[in-house]
Structure 1
Amino acid sequence: MTEGSTGSAREPSDSRWYDQDAGPLVRPYAMTGGRTKSGPSGARFDLIALVALCAGAPGADDSRLGPEHRALVELCRTENQSVAELAAGTDLPVGVVRVLLGDLLELGRITVSRPVPPARLPDERILREVIEGLRAL
C-alpha cells in the first residue's frame, strides 16, 4: 500500500462489477426458482421443437402462471413457435425458456412436437428418382 491510501490498491469500482445495460443479474435464476431442468418429467426441448397451445387448455386460471409463462403462452396463441423463436421473442435465455416450457407442459397448457430424426427422413436418392419418374409421365 502506498502512503496515504485508505483502502486496497485493487478495490473494484461499482461500475466494474455491474453494468446498467446488463440488467438485473439474478433475474433468470429467480424466474426458474433456481431450477435448470425442465420438470420431473425430464422433457427435452430441442431448439427446433415446435410448441403449440393445447386446444382444451384452461385459459382462465392464469393466476398460477408467472409473467414469463404468460408471455410464452401469448407468443404461441397465434401460431406454433419453435423453442428458439420463443427465446428470441421473450428475450430470455434458452435455458430459462426450457424450464418455463416444462412448467407449461406439466400444467397441460402446451404440446411439443419434436423434429423428425435424420434417420427417419427419406433418402435424397429416392426423392430424386420419384421426381424423375413423375417427369417421365
Structure 2
Amino acid sequence: MPHDLSPAAYSKHPSRLVLEQISDKWSVLIIGALCGGPLRFNALKREVDGVTQKALTQALRRLERLGLVERRVIPISPVAVEYSFTELGESLKVPFQALFAWSIAHAPEIEAAISRFEMSQQEALEIAIETQV
C-alpha cells in the first residue's frame, strides 16, 4: 500500500524533521559531494561552490547529528578532518543520485517554465500599470 505523501499526512511525523534537515541548500549539495566518497573539509568547501566555512560547518554538524555523516580526525601534522557517509548515509545515495539525474534531465524544461512564468508576470504587471493610467 503506497504511503500518503500529502503534507497533512506527515505534518507531525518524524520524517518531516528529517526532510527539513536534509533538504536545505547546503545539505543537499554536501550529500551530493559525498556521494563520490569521503572528503576532507577543504575539499568539501571547494566542491560545494559558494558555501562559507560557517555554513559548511553547521550543515556538516546537522548531518552528523542525524547519523548520516561521520567526522574522522586524521592524526597527521597539521591535523586533518575527513567526512564520509555512515551506513545510514550510504542509503541516501540512490535516492539523491536519482534526484540529481532528474534535475539534470529536466533542467531545460524547468528553465523554460521559469521563463514563461516570468514573462507572464511581466505582462500582468504591464497590463496593471496600463489600466491605472
TM-score after normalising by structure 1: 0.39
Higher helix share: 2
Asked which structure has the greater RCO (Cα within 8 Å, sep 6+), the reply is 1
TM-score (norm 2): 0.40
